[in-house]
Amino acid sequence: MFYSSRIPNRRSAPVKHTLCETNLGWVAIGIDRGAICAATLPGTKEAARKAVLEWDAEEPAAPAEARPLVDLIRRAAEGKPVSVNGHVRITTGTPFQRAVWKALLAIPRGATVSYADIARRVGRPGAARAVGQAVGSNPVPLLIPCHRVLASGGGLGGFGGGLKMKRALLRQEGVAA
């Protein structure tokens, strides 16, 4: 399973890649100038390799460049606190999508909000469905915590990696799901 087949606009250096195994499965990571610009949700190694091919990220990242980013992804997959400052570079998305992704970064570990809450936070009350679309196009799941967004009634809502994955991520952060 892979869900972030979009790769950012490559105006500068070519995107490099690496694969890493986490406690939840394999993740493909796209790296642009030393920061993560794309990632998949955990899945099979074959799915992670397929994402790299779709990204056209032929050059593997050097181990020294990839190591801290791999460690960051592994910690996030384990539900541990992470800081994305300086480690994530988003160069894709509409202004609305970027606003939603920024709002996702403000959701504390172990907390959840609704799609409607995010719509209000980005100044678009009533746009919960549009928020859902933006959440679903998150280029760096795990680090931009889209799994922390629930349906307004408190249900899990949707998730690109499936509800089993969403539950696992939330439980690792101490959320009863």
Active-site residue, selected from the candidate residues 39, 142, 146, 150: 146
* DSSP 3-state of 169: helix
Task: Give residue 57's pLDDT.
Answer: 80
SS3 for 75? helix
Give, for 31, the enclosing helix (H) or strand (E).
Answer: strand 25-32
Rounded Cα gap, residues 92 and 10, in angstroms? 10
Alpha helices in 4-155 (DSSP H): 45-55, 63-77, 95-105, 115-121, 128-136
Task: Give me the residues of the chain with pLDDT under 70, please.
Answer: 1-14
Tens of pLDDT, residue by residue over 160-169, are 999 999 999 9
Active-site residue flag, 146:
yes
**pTM: predicted TM-score of the whole model, two decimal places:** 0.88
pLDDT at 4: 41
Domains and CATH numbers, the chain: 95-172 (1.10.10.10)
